[in-house]
Chains A and B, each alone.
Chain A
Amino acid sequence: MRLLVVEDDALLAEGLTSVLTRAGHVVEHATTGRHADILLVDQDFDLVVLDVGLPDIDGFEVLRRLRQRHSTTNVLVLTARDAVEDRVRGLDLGADDYLTKPFSVNEFEARVRALLRRGAAPAAAWSVAGMTVDAAAKRIRVDDRPVDLTPREWALLELFLTHPGRVLSKDQIAENLFTFDEQLSANAIEVHVSRLRTKIQPAGAHIRTVRGFGYLWEGTDE
């Protein structure tokens, strides 16, 4: 995949580029907002890793111009300043995700993978946490044995897979699994999660409970 890293700090840019190159991506690098803006006008990227603090026009402006051109390119914003202010502003401007500096390499890789998957063709089958996921058929295989999932369990798994390492509150899950004919209660969510957990347990994937709050997908990718 083609990725663009926009970061003015040489050390960090080099690290990011190296991580992404090793993961098999083609990486372009820009050190200024203007350069990034020009690259984004001319070329298509699957993902932009965008630092907020840039020497000329800041990352938010680059993002604003990108969305103004109706581009749907995934954008992962890196913030170093005031985490809360920047994350809210970034998401408002159409960032797909954010990371606050400093972050661990693992976290960065997980976020990049999740974002790239979001943009990928749904037909692709991929393996995750010891199981193979066939998004087109809405089926998974654990230890090469097919496992049947109900539509609701599939929706739940899909939600978790697109939010690795992220906590999903019960409210959030209910909102995502909401259908017109049925309102999901917190208890119902617990039941669905528990069933899904049992079905994928052999693969070594873990759905961790955050007491009194929700769940977190802890499966390590690839």
Chain B
Amino acid sequence: MSDEPPRPPSIRRRLLVFLISSLVLMVSGAAIVTYWVAQRSANDAYDRSLLDPAFDIADNVNVDATGAHVDLPQKALEALVYDQVDKVIYQVRSPTNAIVDGVNDLPPPQDLSGEPHIFFDGMYRGEAIRVAAVRTPNGFVVQVGETLHKRNRLVGEILVAELVPTLLIAVGSIALAWLGISRGLIPLEDLRLELSNRAPRDLRPLATAAVPIELAPVVNAFNDLLDHLRGASTMQQRFLANAAHQLRTPLAGLQMHLELLFRRDLPPDLRSELERMHSATVRASRLANQLLALAKAESVPDKSREFENIDLRAVADTAARDWAAKAIAQNVDLGFSLERAEILGDPLLLPELVDNLIDNALRYIGGGGSVTVGTGSIDGVPYLSVEDTGPGIPLSERSKVLDRFYRIAGTRGEGSGLGLAIVQEVVDRHEGTLEITDGAGGRGTCVRVMFPRKRERG
């Protein structure tokens, strides 16, 4: 559905988003601190080695008649400022700030007054450099600068050494958190499975024994709700049962008195009038019975209504006793073909299923036909069938006849349209399937109900 409101983020996602963002923050913080510390360590390590040539040069600055110059052979100077990795330069300035020796494009140092030497970062020909500046007692300033390759390499090495383990720990934490969340959410998934596997009218409370303490309030609240529903449903059932009961007794009285009247000498018109009343009374009783059956079939299963081992043959056996006389009175050949068919079922609902199927068959068949009740199993699937030689149900009507109060237009018989609806309810309750086909030889109707094999149930 498109107009569904956006789903709030899942618990897993919330937890992971929180965890990952905190980890990213902490790792970034650690990286900044590590970089700063690494920089300092690199400077501490290499600044000292930059100072040595500066002092050496400073020691050899002499002033004579020709002016100021560095008293070192060129080779020695080159050796002093030689480095394998970095480019090293030097410069000597006189107290008057004139360049005495070395490169001439190194800017003058910051103020050196009060300190014998300083270190500072500078630029030389577009490249970042680190400079050590030394002041000689006679006011000359020696600067030695070098590019940052060594330092940067050390900083990089320190960063890698410090940050790689940290990153590994962070990634590991996320993976573990993912696993932990999944494991932690197992009870929730179990609950979801239990709820989604539930039969639609199963209002029995959820098991609370295996529920973790965090879920217990939810499950308890849900069970309270189920409890309320069960109570309401039980009350409704009781009401229906009482109503049906209260209806049946006066209807029985009415029927009896009408039948006693038939024994008298009655004028024909009065007799036919009374016969119509009688048939209406019988119909009303049947309707009361069917409403009761429907209420029973729809009702919530409780402890007193657990499924039992039932042989469908025994159910059909009882039906035979109930229906044989009626069928004979109607000149219908009611027959049985009963084989063992063991199922787990509701002992009160299954008779309703058989009764309504037989009643339905007898109602529409007319005299002279035959109805056969069968039980047994095909390929291990237990079934119960009622086959008749009646008018049959057209293909287009077969799905509709299971609806409540639906009656095929133009049919004889005074059905309520509830019979097959009750059958369908009972079939649903047993998780069975119902099929309506033509009877043998394409004549009449065969209604067959197939039940789950016994071992398929839990």
Contacts and interface: CB of A to CB of B under 8 A. Distances in A.
Contacts of A16: 256
Contacts of B260: 15, 18-19, 105
B241 A102 contact: no
A216 B259 contact: no
Interface string B314-335: 0001101100110010000111
A89 interface: no
Nearest to A88: B347
Interface string A192-222: 0000000000000000101111101010000
A26 to B, nearest CB: 19
B285 interface: yes
B255 A102 contact: yes
B295 to A, nearest CB: 11
B351 interface: yes
Contacts of B324: 167, 208, 210, 213, 216
Nearest to A78: B252
Interface in B172-230: none
A209 to B, nearest CB: 9
B253 interface: yes
A105 B241 CA distance: 25
B236 interface: no
A22 to B, nearest CB: 9
B252 A216 contact: no
B364 interface: no
Contacts of B337: 212
A102 B336 contact: no
Given A80-B245, A102-B285, A166-B321, A9 B256 contact: no
B118 interface: no
B250 interface: yes
A104 interface: yes
A208 B323 CA distance: 13
B348 interface: yes
A127 to B, nearest CB: 21
A13 B250 CA distance: 10
A167 B253 contact: no
A11 B253 CA distance: 5
Mostly helix, strand, loop or mixed at chain B's interface? helix
B252 A102 contact: yes
A169 interface: yes
Given A102-B282, A213-B335, A216-B328, A169 B320 contact: yes
A91 to B, nearest CB: 12
A181 interface: no
A180 interface: no
B304 to A, nearest CB: 10
A213 B250 CA distance: 35
A167 B259 contact: no
Count class of interface residues, chain A: 35 or more
B439 to A, nearest CB: 15
Interface string A104-137: 1110100000000000000000000000000000
A105 B292 CA distance: 24
A165 B253 contact: no
Nearest to A101: B252
B334 A211 contact: yes
B266 to A, nearest CB: 15
A85 interface: yes
B248 interface: yes
Interface string B98-135: 00000000000000000000000000000000000000
Contact of A9 (B249, B263, B281): B249
B255 A213 contact: no
A84 B328 contact: no
A18 B253 CA distance: 12
B309 to A, nearest CB: 16
B336 A211 contact: yes
B351 A211 contact: no
A161 B338 CA distance: 26
Contact of B245 (A14, A81, A211): A81
A82 B348 contact: yes
B252 A12 contact: yes
A106 B259 CA distance: 9
A214 B318 CA distance: 12
B106 to A, nearest CB: 111
B251 interface: yes
B87 interface: no
A203 B205 CA distance: 64
A53 interface: yes
Given A9-B252, A84-B348, 12 more contacts: A12-B256, A15-B253, A15-B256, A19-B256, A80-B245, A102-B282, A166-B321, A169-B320, A210-B320, A212-B336, A213-B324, A213-B336
10 contacts: A12-B256, A15-B257, A53-B245, A102-B255, A102-B256, A169-B320, A210-B336, A211-B335, A211-B370, A213-B324
Instruction: Give 9 nearest A-B pairs by CB, closest first.
Output: A211-B335, A11-B253, A12-B253, A102-B252, A15-B256, A101-B252, A212-B336, A105-B259, A167-B324
Interface of A: 9-16, 18-19, 51, 53, 80-85, 101-106, 108, 165-167, 169, 208, 210-214, 216, 218
Interface of B: 241, 245, 248-257, 259-260, 263, 281-282, 285, 292, 296, 317-318, 320-321, 324-325, 328, 333-338, 347-348, 351, 370, 372
